[in-house]
Structure 1
Amino acid sequence: MTRIAFGSCHSRGAVNKRLSIDPHNEKTIWDTIAAVVQPQTFLWTGDAVYPPMEVKGDYPLEVLKYEFYQMKTNTTLGYASFIQNKMLEAGIYGTWDDHDYGGNDRGYELKGKDERRDAYLDFLGVKRKNNDRSGVYNSVEFGKQPNKVKVIFLDTRYARSKHCIPSVGSHPYVPHGAIFACLTRWLTAGFNLCSNGGEVLGEEQWEWFERQLAESKA
């Protein structure tokens, strides 16, 4: 294993906007990755999809499934042909962030988490042995000793506690929400307002993470 590519934050809407401005430029980011990097594996680090702008609040499961379907079948996006490329001999792996989880800045409180998890794993092409895992955290090893590489993907959404100050980002109708979100987080951290011991990974994932580190031969 010598060539690994990784990425995040892929917006179908942004691709469509670019094509509306320059319809003759059909080259996609996936074409560039394939030509320049020629990766043997691709790693998603979050936000593989975004919902349409008209979708407000938490994203219905069917909207997420549709966006995943578009990624894997809509040839204008470029991802469909990218994942069929034989150079990706080691496969595709990853974890989600808030948008492919299903709600802007959401955590454990998001409804339908298990169904959303299953939809994301289907998007990655993961063959699920069971549905008991609380989230999409996983690990993968590449290569052989002495050059073995281990990649650990953490899930920072499924078990994450609510913000002590409600997240402005999860409320789509707040004017200038991004500015308010920055201010509330700055105030919270700067003045140590909420040392509430909240969860990010959850106990199950922490135990798994510790085992991954302790038992790794990479």
Structure 2
Amino acid sequence: MDRRQLLQTTLYSTLLSGLGACASNNKALVETSGTTPAWPTHIQKIAFGSCINQNKEQPIWQAVLANRPDLFIFGGDTVYADSQPWLLANLEQAYATQAAQPGFAQLRKTIPHMAIWDDNDMGLNDGGAEFQHKEASKKAFLDFWRLPANDPRRSREGLYHAVSFGNAGQRVQVILLDTRSFRSALRRTDQRDAPGKERYVPDADPAKTMLGEVQWQWLTAQLQTPADLRLIVSGVQVVVEGHGWEGWHNLPLEQEKLRQVIRRTGAKGVVLLSGDRHIGAVYKSPSADLYPLYEFTSSGMTHAWQTAKEAGPNRLGELVTQNHFAMIELDWQQRQIQWGFKNTQDQWLQQGRIALAELE
């Protein structure tokens, strides 16, 4: 979003001084973060966050590490490299700076993790399918996250991906949606900065898409695989109401299509995770023919929007405007989700619970 352009800087951390020769070498960038930890066989604690400016201090990682999650999910904007004209060297340098952050490096060595991109690490603010450098940016993403040569994301368009953890009765499926590579152009507002119409207005053009046909087919198949809890990760907000920033509500037919696909496949246990907004919040979206969809937005690990205020018709509680990350802990015996947001001091900012029976 436009305001985030103000957060970017042309200066890079002095940590890069020892990495200068590596900045244009993807293999070298990968090696700065050490080895990848093994996937967990059982999931109880999941941490989630997004929006990390590589040039800012990052005390948040100590709090994340102290919670010892079984899995960390990066929800997009892991670095900021969307200045124009876009240059691959700038993205590689941003990744090198982030890799050198001690807390981040420690997490990558010790905590299993998954990642999807959003606009600022793809390379174009609020960008979609029109971004002409997305393939070069995608390759840098794949190399930075050390994805193996046989990973399906290396041989197809986009970065969507899914992994399931655990056994029947306690199986968690994490679905990473790519809401950038295929997304159609959005309809710009006719009242910039007006509440509810800040940047974009809804566009019901049936030709426009959020995911693209192939990714929609893939998602439909994923939702038919067995799982007790499904975390669908979207870079942008999915069911949130009350603002005119980016989100699935910009393409309301696609938003409704997601509900229909969940209902048609009989997928139980869907919970939505999103980033992008530089705020934290939880939302509940009821439906006449589907269980309520809960959405957790956790955005702003290094630079939350401290003065954020907006309508939240389906928001539960207030906005989180401190730097934070989200925690989801699964109580399999009680069949419930314990959720909350924590700040850089590892203090709870909000907490709540959801019964898994509500998601059937």
2:95·2:144 contact (CA, 8 Å) conserved in 1?
A: yes
Task: Please give the alpha-carbon distance, in whole angstroms, between the structure 2 residues aligned to 1:134 and 1:128.
Answer: 15
Shift in alpha-carbon separation, 1:66–1:151, aligned structure 2, 3 A? same
Given residue 183 of structure 1, which amino acid in structure 2 is its aligned partner?
A: E
- How far the C-alpha of 1:182 sits from its partner, in A, is 4.1
Q: Does 1:73 align with 2:100?
A: yes
TM-score by length of 2: 0.47
- How far the C-alpha of 1:184 sits from its partner, in A, is 4.4
SS in 1 for 2:159: coil
- How far the C-alpha of 1:81 sits from its partner, in A, is 1.9
Q: Which of structure 1's runs of 4+ aligned residues deviate more than 6 A?
A: none
Which residue of 2 is the match for residue 179 of structure 1? 193
1:92·1:124 contact (CA, 8 Å) conserved in 2?
A: no
2:136 pairs with one of 115, 118, 132 = 115
Which residue of 2 is the match for residue 204 of structure 1? 214
Task: Please give the alpha-carbon distance, in whole angstroms, between the structure 1 residues aligned to 2:220 and 2:141.
Answer: 24
Given residue 28 of structure 1, which amino acid in structure 2 is its aligned partner?
A: P
Which residue of 1 is the match for residue 116 of structure 2? 95
Task: Please give the alpha-carbon distance, in whole angstroms, between the structure 2 residues aligned to 1:111 and 1:205.
Answer: 20
Shift in alpha-carbon separation, 1:161–1:150, aligned structure 2, 3 A? same
TM-score by length of 1: 0.75
Task: Please give the alpha-carbon distance, in whole angstroms, between the structure 2 residues aligned to 1:125 and 1:99.
Answer: 20
- How far the C-alpha of 1:122 sits from its partner, in A, is 1.9
2:46·2:70 contact (CA, 8 Å) conserved in 1?
A: yes
Task: Please give the alpha-carbon distance, in whole angstroms, between the structure 2 residues aligned to 1:184 and 1:149.
Answer: 35
1:164·1:196 contact (CA, 8 Å) conserved in 2?
A: no
Shift in alpha-carbon separation, 1:133–1:151, aligned structure 2, 3 A? same
Which residue of 2 is the match for residue 20 of structure 1? none
Shift in alpha-carbon separation, 1:116–1:56, aligned structure 2, 3 A? closer
Task: Please give the alpha-carbon distance, in whole angstroms, between the structure 2 residues aligned to 1:74 and 1:32.
Answer: 15
Task: Please give the alpha-carbon distance, in whole angstroms, between the structure 2 residues aligned to 1:41 and 1:156.
Answer: 22
The size of the alignment, in residue pairs, is 182
Shift in alpha-carbon separation, 1:56–1:115, aligned structure 2, 3 A? closer
> Quick check: which one's helix share is greater?
1
Task: Please give the alpha-carbon distance, in whole angstroms, between the structure 2 residues aligned to 1:107 and 1:63.
Answer: 20
- How far the C-alpha of 1:79 sits from its partner, in A, is 0.5
Which residue of 1 is the match for residue 77 of structure 2? 47
> Quick check: which one's strand share is greater?
2
1:102·1:116 contact (CA, 8 Å) conserved in 2?
A: yes
Given residue 139 of structure 1, which amino acid in structure 2 is its aligned partner?
A: A
Which residue of 1 is the match for residue 83 of structure 2? 56
- How far the C-alpha of 1:115 sits from its partner, in A, is 1.9
1:31·1:82 contact (CA, 8 Å) conserved in 2?
A: no
Which residue of 2 is the match for residue 164 of structure 1? 187
Task: Please give the alpha-carbon distance, in whole angstroms, between the structure 2 residues aligned to 1:103 and 1:160.
Answer: 13
1:195 pairs with one of 193, 201, 204 = 204
1:5·1:42 contact (CA, 8 Å) conserved in 2?
A: yes
Task: Please give the alpha-carbon distance, in whole angstroms, between the structure 2 residues aligned to 1:2 and 1:58.
Answer: 43
